[in-house]
Amino acid sequence: MFWEKGIETIEKDQLEKLQLERLRKTVERASRSSYYGKIFKEKRFFAEDIRTLSDLVKIPLTTKDDLREQWPYGFLAASKDELVRMHSSSGMTGRATVIFHTQSDIDSWTNQVARCMYMAGMRKSDVFQNMMTYALFTGGLGFHYGAEKLGAMVIPSGAGNSKRQIQLMQDFDTTVMHVIPSYALHLTTVFEEVGVDPKKDTRLRMAFIGAEPHSEKMRRRIEDFYGVKAFNSYGLSEMNGPGVAFECPRQNGMHIWEDAYAVEIINPHTLDPVPDGEEGELVLTTLNREGMPLLRYRTKDLTRVIPGECPCGRTHRRLERIKGRTDDMMILKGVNIFPIQIEKKLMDIAGVGNNFLIILERRGFSDEMIVKVEVQREYFSGDLKQLEGLRKTIVNELKSDILITPRVDLVEPDSLPKTEGKAKRVIDNRED
C-alpha cells in the first residue's frame, strides 16, 4: 500500500546518504539568495563545510521574522523566469510572508501530497471534495494538485457555503473530504439543520483534517459524526504547505517525509537540539526545493518525535499531534497555557458542544480567563440545575488542568463567531 515503496521504506543509512546529498545541493542553492549569501559570507560558511548531516547545526536558524524582513525577494534562489507560482501565508499572527516555487518545486510538492493521500488509503476511484480556501493559502491548491496526481476526481468546492457543500457531497458521491477541523464541526449543525445524516445519506469514508491544531477527542467527534476515518495532516506554507507530515492508517503520529525535509526538534529557549521522544519546537530544512530553499526554519510548532518504528513499515519518523505554537501560548498569572489544553479538557465533558472561545481580560492587576462554551443540543433537558452543574464541572475540570479558575459562560449552540478558515480560539483584551 505504498505510493513509492522505495522511498517510503528506505533504510536509515540510505536515507541519510540521500539527505546529505540533497542538503549539500540545497545549501549551495540557498547561497544564491541575497539573504543566505550575505549570512554565509559573514560567518565564513561554505557549502563544502557540510560533510555529514551533523554539520547541519552549523547553519544559523531561520525565523519567520527573517522571512518578513526579506519580503519579497530576499530568499529567492532562482531567477524569476524559473518561477511558476507564489503562495503567501495566512498572516494570522503578523505580516505576511511569501514562498516561491519553480515547476520542479510544484511537482515534488504535488507528489508528496499524493503520497500522503495514498498512504491514508485514498485511491483513484475516490471523489475528493476539497473544502479549503484556494487562492494564496496553500491548503486548497496543494491538496487539489495532489488529488489530481493520484487520479481521484476533485470537487474544488473551496471553503464555506455550507449548504452547497452538503449538496455537492450528495450529488457527486463524495468519498473523501479535506476540511479544517473546526469547520467540520461547525458543518455538523448545518447537516442537522437540513436533515441530512452523513453516515446514511452520503458516501463519505475518509476525511483529511489539518491547518490548525486539534485534539484527539475532536478527531473522534468528527469520525463519529461523519462515519469516516479522519487523518491528521500537517504542513505550513514555508515548507510548501500541506503534505509535510501525514498520518498512516495506524493513526498514531504523522510520518514526516525525511527525503524532503531534514528534521530537528529544539528547545525553544536554549535552541539546543533535544533527542527523539522529547518535546520541543520543530525545525525543518527543505531538501528538494529550488526556488526558495529554507535552512533550519523555526516552525514555532511544538511537538516531539515518537520514538520507535511504525508497524506500517514506513521508516520516516513520526511527529506527535501538534501541541500548539510557541506564539499561541497564553501566559496568565504566570502560568503557561495552550488553547489545545482547554480544548482537550472540554471535549471530554459530556454536554459540551463543538465550539468554544477563550477571552482574556485584565481587571485591575489581575488577569481573568473567560471561556465561552457552546452547549450540545441533545444535552439540554430544559432544566437550569443541569446547566449549572455542567458549568461547575467545566470550571473544575479546567481548574484541575490549568491551575487557574476560569469564568465559564454557557452559550447557545452555533452562537460563537464561526470561521471558514482557521478557528480563532483566543481573544486577548489585555493591554500591555
Partner 1 sequence: MEREKDEMIAQQISIFAENKPGRLAAVTHILAKEKINIRATTISTSDTFGVINLLVDDPKKAQKVLTKAGMMVQMRHVLAVELGDKPGALDDLTQLLSKENVNINNAYGFVVESYERAIFVVDVDQIEKAEKLVEKNGFKTLDTEALCAVEPFHYSKY
For partner 1, give the closer residue by CB, 206 or 410. 410
CB-neighbour burial class of residue 167 (10 A; exposed 0-12, middle 13-18, buried 19+): middle
- Distance between CA 232 and CA 226 in Å, rounded? 15
The DSSP call for residue 131 is -
163 vs 161: CA distance, rounded Å: 6
- 21 contacts: CB under 8 Å, gap ≥ 6: none
Q: Does 380 bind partner 1 (CB under 8 A)?
A: yes
Question: Does the protein bind partner 1 through residue 387 (CB under 8 A)?
Answer: yes
Task: Judge whether 184 and 207 are in contact, CB under 8 Å.
Answer: yes
Radius of gyration of the chain (CA): 22
Residue given cell 459540551 in the structure block: 352
- If binding is defined by CB under 8 A, does position 44 make contact with partner 1? no
State in angstroms the smallest separation of the CB of 407 from partner 1.
Answer: 9
3-class DSSP state for residue 307? coil
Q: Which of 409, 427, 429, 430 binds partner 1 (CB under 8 A)?
A: 409
Minimum separation from the CB atom of position 391 to partner 1 (A): 7
Q: How far is CA 378 from CA 155, 353, 356, 399, 413, in A?
A: 33, 9, 17, 26, 11
107 near partner 1, judged by CB under 8 A: no
Binding to partner 1 in span 191-250, by CB under 8 A: 193
The residue from 125, 270, 366, 381 that contacts partner 1 (CB under 8 A) is: 381
Ramachandran region of residue 208, left (φ > 0), alpha (ψ -120 to 50) or beta?
beta
Asked if residues 99 and 106 have their Cβ atoms less than 8 Å apart, the reply is: no
- Using CB under 8 A as the binding rule, whether residue 410 contacts partner 1 is answered as yes
120 binds partner 1 (CB under 8 A): no
Name 369's bridge partners. 360
**Part of the chain binding partner 1 (CB under 8 A), chosen from 26-34, 224-232, 298-306, 381-389:** 381-389
Is residue 388 involved in binding partner 1 (CB under 8 A)?
A: yes
Q: How many residues sit in the footprint of partner 1 (CB under 8 A)? A: 20
Q: Is 383 among the residues that bind partner 1 (CB under 8 A)?
A: yes
51 lies in the site for partner 1, by CB under 8 A: no
Question: Does position 27 bind partner 1 by CB under 8 A?
Answer: no
Give the footprint of partner 1 on residues 360-379 (CB under 8 A): 375, 377
- Mark residues 158-197: x for contact with partner 1 by CB under 8 A, - for none: -------------------------------x---x----
Cis, peptide link before residue 249, omega less than 30° from 0:
no
**Footprint on this chain of partner 1 (rule: CB under 8 A):** 189, 193, 375, 377, 380-385, 387-388, 391, 409-415
